Chain A
């Protein structure tokens, strides 16, 4: 090779030109300016509302002493257990129910559509007022549930929200009740997207009922189901409303999850950094979930 024809791209001037060319792409002259004018606001918004808060949060929760204080706090320890239970039961029971119900709502008939309309109501109504209603229903002294128990059987019902496990159970049930309709609709849409020919062909081959579900429907829905489960887990990790308004993180702060303990530490204890640290402690779980989710969304063989 002739040394004179060799282009040294490591030279700064050439490197700058190469970078500029790669940024410009096929844009020429004024087009490039307009492109910049349109992109800059988005970048500014991204920096102001995404990058800055995340970096600020990381900075606030960056001191090791915060985590020492957090891990030594018995309330935080019970919070971690609650969060794991809330995620494991709340997400999986809800998604499994949604999967079953989406099959049920595939049945034909006008009454099925009417039933579906009623079924989605819990999801459609504002969540804070419904969670407060559930809190009132479960009140031990004058709540609806215990009054019904007393009215029908002359039985004094338990104080549902006074026990850590029944309070957490109430939160999980409230969450499942509220969000099952939404995920049912998503999975129903997924089922409806399965081409009719595939199902008909499977029927001809004898894959009906449970066999049809196991060999045809579920494999085709599996990717969607997994993505929904991951998304739901990420949503639930940041869920503040169900715990705050159903159990209030009680009794005696034994019913908190990471999202609510963060608020408690930040504002009730007036220690914002400790609050951020509590939320940040969920990152080891959130980051792998997001990575798996991204990989699934990028999967070459998208089934549905």
Chain B
């Protein structure tokens, strides 16, 4: 039996230290062909399966190794912010939250990937490409930091059985904005007369959590003519009477619907998944919510819901009150390489592989179509044009083939902070809960918006 002595421990330590240079080269060689990739977990398992498949095929073709880390959505946001703060970063990450492209682009924290985007630029939609750009406050230039791989818009989701129970048909739903949403108030009134105590007409996220309330407000702002709130040059136009009028109307409608009892009272505390859950529980007749997560989440378990009972208004999305189509605001998932990444070469190689139409197209399709492709040519595939599917054609029409605009924080980073600070939410809630006049609530929101924009003055 061998006993450990001080000498034997020291001898062992010296031997291990001496062996280190011979072990080292293998690790170094592995690092040269390995890239770490961080991605947010999907709402349905199929999304993760499609990602793993794409990664596995890249590994097979390239011989490189991808260390894939899939983390649930909210913790991944924290992981990314923590990584960027500490400087211990992966080689590739997707933008979660979406606005980090612009937030950290401002701070010169991303590697330029225009060479990657260039390989597929003719295929990508302009909105997708622009969404990956950010103003760099160090170089004083706009850079291409994101490689677009998928996108989403905010369609309307409706329960057909509840509309019919109220004595209406889906075809009865008006086409113009105010009339469209007023219709669901009538549906609620009729359902209440039939003794439905806890069904609400409208699933508005009048809350100060998550990204949904901002998306909802912006949809209403655009519908009322406030498109120019921030122009492409990044300038804020709160003094534009049209913008102000649109903001007041949006606040009045959204806050008023809550105040008048047409929105579930718990909506004031909802987070991003809560409206989906409430919709599945048939707490409300309709919901305005980003992506097709509401539908694809139940496709396997409740195919009758997916194919018969749920209606998605992408094609049927209302026009403005004058009958003109409203551009859809598109959120785009981008692949990014943070500065400090150990293996930029493999990271870029992986991105070039991933953004190929065949690969990225299959990636969104295997994910059940919760997310949209970023290349208009992919919208023509049998998957997206399947006549048997009640949701996909309308969704892709709304978010890819119809008129679209990138989210406004792409034009000015300040809008990202307006979103995260829930400036519009506070205006809606002031009206909804505290009975503040919409004009007063909007004045307060505009003041806060101006303060935030003042922080991000371009030199």
Contacts and interface: CB of A to CB of B under 8 A. Distances in A.
A247 B198 contact: no
16 contacts: A34-B6, A60-B85, A140-B266, A141-B198, A159-B265, A162-B265, A162-B266, A251-B208, A252-B426, A252-B433, A267-B81, A269-B417, A270-B97, A270-B100, A270-B420, A272-B85
Interface string B419-451: 011100110010001000000000000000000
A181 B77 CA distance: 36
B58 to A, nearest CB: 30
B36 interface: no
A156 to B, nearest CB: 9
B264 interface: yes
Task: Please list the 3 inter-chain residue pairs (A to B) with the smallest Cβ-Cβ separation, ordered nearest first.
Answer: A250-B269, A252-B208, A272-B85
A247 B269 contact: yes
Given A162-B265, A266-B81, A272-B82, A142 B422 contact: no
A159 B422 contact: no
Contacts of B281: 142
Contacts of B81: 266-267, 270, 272
Contacts of A223: none
A270 B103 contact: yes
B78 interface: yes
A269 B85 CA distance: 13
Contact of A268 (B6, B198, B420, B433): B420
A162 B97 contact: no
B100 A139 contact: no
B385 interface: no
A137 B103 CA distance: 39
Interface string A35-61: 000000000000000000000000010
Contacts of A250: 207-209, 268-269
B271 interface: yes
B230 interface: no
Nearest to B97: A270
A253 interface: yes
A248 interface: yes
Given A141-B198, A252-B426, A252-B429, A269 B265 contact: no
B207 A252 contact: yes
Interface of A: 30, 33-34, 60, 139-142, 159, 161-162, 247-248, 250-253, 266-270, 272
Interface in B230-276: 264-266, 268-269, 271
Contact of A33 (B6, B265, B422): B6
The B interface, classified by DSSP as helix, strand, loop or mixed, is helix
Contact of A248 (B209, B265, B433): B209
A252 B268 contact: yes
Contact of A159 (B208, B266, B425): B266
Nearest to A269: B420
Contacts of B100: 270
A255 B399 CA distance: 37
Contacts of B283: 141-142
B99 A270 contact: yes
Interface string B73-109: 0000110011001000000000001011001000000
Nearest to B429: A252
Nearest to B104: A270
A159 B265 CA distance: 7
A251 B421 contact: no
Given A141-B266, A142-B198, A272-B81, 18 more contacts: A30-B6, A33-B6, A34-B6, A60-B85, A142-B281, A161-B269, A162-B265, A162-B266, A250-B207, A251-B269, A252-B207, A252-B208, A253-B208, A267-B77, A268-B420, A270-B99, A270-B420, A272-B85
Contacts of B99: 270
B424 to A, nearest CB: 12
Contact of B269 (A33, A162, A267, A269): A162
Contacts of A269: 417, 420-421
A247 B425 CA distance: 18
A161 B266 contact: yes
A154 to B, nearest CB: 11
Interface string B4-43: 0010000000000000000000000000000000000000
Contacts of B265: 140-141, 159, 162
A248 B81 CA distance: 21
